[in-house]
Protein backbone atom coordinates (compact mmCIF):
# COMPACT_ATOMS: atom_id res chain seq x y z
CA UNK A 1 0.00 0.00 0.00
CA UNK A 2 1.45 3.34 -0.95
CA UNK A 3 1.75 6.12 1.52
CA UNK A 4 2.22 9.82 1.59
CA UNK A 5 5.68 11.06 2.50
CA UNK A 6 6.78 14.60 3.20
CA UNK A 7 8.60 16.25 0.30
CA UNK A 8 11.40 18.78 0.70
CA UNK A 9 13.08 20.73 -2.10
CA UNK A 10 16.74 21.27 -1.15
CA UNK A 11 18.77 24.28 -2.24
CA UNK A 12 21.08 22.11 -4.32
CA UNK A 13 18.31 20.63 -6.41
CA UNK A 14 17.39 17.03 -5.58
CA UNK A 15 14.00 16.53 -3.98
CA UNK A 16 14.07 14.70 -0.65
CA UNK A 17 11.20 12.80 0.87
CA UNK A 18 10.82 11.61 4.45
CA UNK A 19 9.83 7.99 4.97
CA UNK A 20 6.39 7.95 6.63
CA UNK A 21 7.44 5.12 8.94
CA UNK A 22 10.98 5.94 10.13
CA UNK A 23 11.51 9.55 8.96
CA UNK A 24 14.62 8.62 6.97
CA UNK A 25 15.43 11.33 4.39
CA UNK A 26 15.62 9.79 0.92
CA UNK A 27 15.84 11.14 -2.60
CA UNK A 28 12.48 11.05 -4.31
CA UNK A 29 12.07 8.00 -6.57
CA UNK A 30 11.95 9.03 -10.25
CA UNK A 31 8.51 9.40 -11.85
CA UNK A 32 7.40 6.08 -13.31
CA UNK A 33 9.53 4.04 -10.90
CA UNK A 34 7.78 0.83 -9.93
CA UNK A 35 7.45 -0.23 -6.29
CA UNK A 36 10.16 1.37 -4.16
CA UNK A 37 10.90 0.71 -0.51
CA UNK A 38 12.64 2.62 2.24
CA UNK A 39 16.20 1.22 2.44
CA UNK A 40 16.20 1.62 6.23
CA UNK A 41 12.86 0.14 7.35
CA UNK A 42 11.50 -1.50 4.21
CA UNK A 43 8.20 0.44 4.12
CA UNK A 44 6.70 0.84 0.65
CA UNK A 45 7.27 4.40 -0.65
CA UNK A 46 5.72 4.16 -4.12
CA UNK A 47 3.72 1.54 -6.00
CA UNK A 48 3.46 3.31 -9.30
CA UNK A 49 2.60 0.84 -12.06
CA UNK A 50 1.41 1.27 -15.62
CA UNK A 51 -2.38 1.00 -15.67
CA UNK A 52 -2.68 1.61 -11.91
CA UNK A 53 -4.80 4.70 -12.51
CA UNK A 54 -7.27 2.64 -14.56
CA UNK A 55 -7.38 0.10 -11.74
CA UNK A 56 -8.13 2.71 -9.08
CA UNK A 57 -10.77 4.38 -11.26
CA UNK A 58 -12.42 1.01 -11.95
CA UNK A 59 -12.55 0.15 -8.25
CA UNK A 60 -13.87 3.64 -7.41
CA UNK A 61 -16.72 3.34 -9.91
CA UNK A 62 -17.42 -0.21 -8.69
CA UNK A 63 -17.63 1.11 -5.12
CA UNK A 64 -20.26 3.67 -6.12
CA UNK A 65 -22.36 1.07 -7.99
CA UNK A 66 -22.12 -1.59 -5.26
CA UNK A 67 -22.90 0.85 -2.44
CA UNK A 68 -25.84 2.43 -4.25
CA UNK A 69 -27.41 -0.97 -4.87
CA UNK A 70 -26.33 -2.50 -1.55
CA UNK A 71 -28.12 0.07 0.57
CA UNK A 72 -31.56 -0.72 -0.82
CA UNK A 73 -31.44 -4.47 -1.57
CA UNK A 74 -32.31 -7.01 1.17
CA UNK A 75 -29.28 -7.63 3.38
CA UNK A 76 -30.62 -10.47 5.49
CA UNK A 77 -33.87 -12.34 5.86
CA UNK A 78 -34.90 -13.72 9.22
CA UNK A 79 -37.55 -16.39 9.62
CA UNK A 80 -39.08 -17.02 13.03
CA UNK A 81 -42.48 -18.40 14.08
CA UNK A 82 -43.42 -18.88 10.44
CA UNK A 83 -42.87 -15.20 9.57
CA UNK A 84 -40.15 -14.10 7.21
CA UNK A 85 -38.74 -10.59 7.44
CA UNK A 86 -36.40 -8.95 4.95
CA UNK A 87 -34.18 -6.05 5.97
CA UNK A 88 -31.89 -3.79 3.97
CA UNK A 89 -29.10 -1.65 5.44
CA UNK A 90 -31.35 1.38 5.02
CA UNK A 91 -34.17 -0.41 6.92
CA UNK A 92 -31.72 -1.23 9.73
CA UNK A 93 -30.50 2.37 9.97
CA UNK A 94 -34.08 3.70 10.00
CA UNK A 95 -35.27 1.06 12.47
CA UNK A 96 -32.42 1.89 14.85
CA UNK A 97 -33.21 5.57 14.52
CA UNK A 98 -35.16 5.75 17.79
CA UNK A 99 -33.25 5.08 20.99
CA UNK A 100 -30.19 3.77 19.22
CA UNK A 101 -29.83 6.78 16.93
CA UNK A 102 -26.07 7.25 17.64
CA UNK A 103 -25.50 3.69 16.42
CA UNK A 104 -27.75 4.27 13.40
CA UNK A 105 -25.87 7.45 12.59
CA UNK A 106 -22.47 5.74 12.95
CA UNK A 107 -23.48 2.79 10.73
CA UNK A 108 -25.03 5.11 8.15
CA UNK A 109 -21.93 7.31 8.09
CA UNK A 110 -19.18 4.72 8.21
CA UNK A 111 -20.76 2.11 5.97
CA UNK A 112 -22.53 4.28 3.42
CA UNK A 113 -21.90 8.05 3.54
CA UNK A 114 -18.12 8.09 4.10
CA UNK A 115 -17.25 5.42 1.49
CA UNK A 116 -19.51 7.19 -1.03
CA UNK A 117 -17.96 10.60 -0.27
CA UNK A 118 -14.49 9.08 -0.55
CA UNK A 119 -15.31 7.46 -3.91
CA UNK A 120 -16.73 10.74 -5.21
CA UNK A 121 -13.61 12.63 -4.09
CA UNK A 122 -11.33 10.08 -5.80
CA UNK A 123 -13.39 10.31 -8.96
CA UNK A 124 -13.10 14.11 -8.86
CA UNK A 125 -9.31 13.83 -8.71
CA UNK A 126 -8.61 10.84 -10.94
CA UNK A 127 -11.11 11.20 -13.80
CA UNK A 128 -9.45 14.37 -15.24
CA UNK A 129 -6.05 12.70 -14.79
CA UNK A 130 -7.19 9.69 -16.81
CA UNK A 131 -8.61 11.98 -19.52
CA UNK A 132 -5.32 13.94 -19.49
CA UNK A 133 -7.13 17.14 -18.59
CA UNK A 134 -6.00 19.71 -16.01
CA UNK A 135 -7.12 18.98 -12.43
CA UNK A 136 -10.59 20.17 -11.39
CA UNK A 137 -10.86 22.94 -8.75
CA UNK A 138 -10.08 21.78 -5.19
CA UNK A 139 -8.52 18.54 -6.51
CA UNK A 140 -5.79 18.60 -3.84
CA UNK A 141 -8.35 19.16 -1.07
CA UNK A 142 -10.51 16.35 -2.48
CA UNK A 143 -7.55 13.94 -2.55
CA UNK A 144 -6.57 14.88 1.01
CA UNK A 145 -10.19 14.24 2.06
CA UNK A 146 -10.15 10.82 0.35
CA UNK A 147 -6.97 9.88 2.25
CA UNK A 148 -8.28 11.13 5.59
CA UNK A 149 -11.62 9.31 5.20
CA UNK A 150 -10.03 5.92 4.49
CA UNK A 151 -9.59 4.86 8.15
CA UNK A 152 -13.21 5.83 8.84
CA UNK A 153 -14.78 3.89 6.01
CA UNK A 154 -15.43 0.55 7.68
CA UNK A 155 -17.18 -1.65 5.14
CA UNK A 156 -15.00 -4.67 5.90
CA UNK A 157 -15.50 -4.32 9.67
CA UNK A 158 -19.26 -4.04 9.10
CA UNK A 159 -19.29 -7.28 7.06
CA UNK A 160 -17.33 -9.14 9.76
CA UNK A 161 -19.63 -7.69 12.47
CA UNK A 162 -22.72 -8.84 10.57
CA UNK A 163 -21.33 -12.37 10.20
CA UNK A 164 -20.66 -12.55 13.96
CA UNK A 165 -24.16 -11.22 14.75
CA UNK A 166 -25.81 -13.70 12.36
CA UNK A 167 -23.95 -16.63 13.92
CA UNK A 168 -25.15 -15.49 17.35
CA UNK A 169 -28.82 -15.26 16.39
CA UNK A 170 -28.80 -18.37 14.18
CA UNK A 171 -30.04 -20.43 17.15
CA UNK A 172 -33.12 -18.25 17.57
CA UNK A 173 -34.27 -17.89 13.99
CA UNK A 174 -33.58 -19.10 10.48
CA UNK A 175 -31.28 -16.53 8.97
CA UNK A 176 -30.65 -16.13 5.25
CA UNK A 177 -28.25 -13.82 3.46
CA UNK A 178 -29.67 -11.38 0.95
CA UNK A 179 -28.11 -10.00 -2.23
CA UNK A 180 -26.81 -6.92 -0.42
CA UNK A 181 -24.67 -9.04 1.90
CA UNK A 182 -22.75 -10.39 -1.10
CA UNK A 183 -22.51 -6.89 -2.57
CA UNK A 184 -20.95 -5.61 0.66
CA UNK A 185 -18.58 -8.59 0.77
CA UNK A 186 -17.54 -7.76 -2.82
CA UNK A 187 -17.20 -4.12 -1.78
CA UNK A 188 -14.77 -5.02 1.03
CA UNK A 189 -12.60 -6.86 -1.54
CA UNK A 190 -12.86 -3.95 -4.01
CA UNK A 191 -11.75 -1.44 -1.34
CA UNK A 192 -8.76 -3.68 -0.54
CA UNK A 193 -7.80 -3.81 -4.25
CA UNK A 194 -8.19 -0.03 -4.50
CA UNK A 195 -5.78 0.47 -1.59
CA UNK A 196 -3.27 -1.83 -3.24
CA UNK A 197 -3.47 0.00 -6.59
CA UNK A 198 -3.52 3.59 -5.28
CA UNK A 199 -0.06 5.18 -5.21
CA UNK A 200 -0.53 8.39 -3.26
CA UNK A 201 2.90 9.79 -4.09
CA UNK A 202 2.35 9.58 -7.83
CA UNK A 203 -1.08 11.23 -7.51
CA UNK A 204 0.37 14.06 -5.38
CA UNK A 205 3.15 14.48 -7.93
CA UNK A 206 0.64 14.84 -10.74
CA UNK A 207 -1.44 17.31 -8.71
CA UNK A 208 1.57 19.49 -7.89
ZN1 LIG B 1 11.65 4.02 6.54
- Tell me the pLDDT tens digit for each residue of 98-131: 777 888 888 888 888 999 999 999 999 999 999 9
- Give rounded-to-5 percent helix, strand, coil for the chain: 55, 15, 30
Q: Does 198 or 1 have the greater pLDDT score?
A: 198
What does the pLDDT average to over 59-63? Answer: 94
Spacing, Cα 127 to ligand 1 middle (Å):
31
Spacing, Cα 41 to ligand 1 middle (Å):
4
Please give the pLDDT value at position 137. 94
Spacing, Cα 38 to ligand 1 middle (Å):
5
Could you list which residues have their CB under 5 Å from ion ligand 1? 19, 21-22, 24, 38, 40-41, 43
CB 199 within 8 A of CB 46: yes
Residue 160 pLDDT greater than 70, yes or no: yes
Spacing, Cα 24 to ligand 1 middle (Å):
5
Q: What angle do CA 30, 122, 31 make, to 5 degrees?
A: 5
Please give the pLDDT value at position 8. 54
**How far does Cα 166 stand from its chain's mean position?**
25
Q: Domain boundaries in the chain? A: 6-46, 53-195
Please give the pLDDT value at position 186. 94
**How far does Cα 146 stand from its chain's mean position?**
8
Please give the pLDDT value at position 80. 81
Please give the pLDDT value at position 57. 93
Please give the pLDDT value at position 180. 92
Q: Is the dihedral of CA 69, 71, 76, 80 positive or negative?
A: negative
- Tell me the pLDDT tens digit for each residue of 170-195: 888 888 889 999 999 999 999 888 88
CA 202 – CA 2 distance, rounded (Å): 9
CA 75 – CA 63 distance, rounded (Å): 17
Q: In what order do the strands lie in the sheet with 83-88?
A: 83-88, 74-80, 174-177
Q: Does 58 or 156 have the greater pLDDT score?
A: 58
Amino acid sequence: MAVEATTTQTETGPVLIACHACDALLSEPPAGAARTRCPRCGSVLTTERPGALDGVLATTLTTIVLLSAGVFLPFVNIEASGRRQYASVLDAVIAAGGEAWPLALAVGAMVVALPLTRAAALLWVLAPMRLERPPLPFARAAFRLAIELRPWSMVEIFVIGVIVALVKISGLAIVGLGAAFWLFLALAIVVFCEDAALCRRSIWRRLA
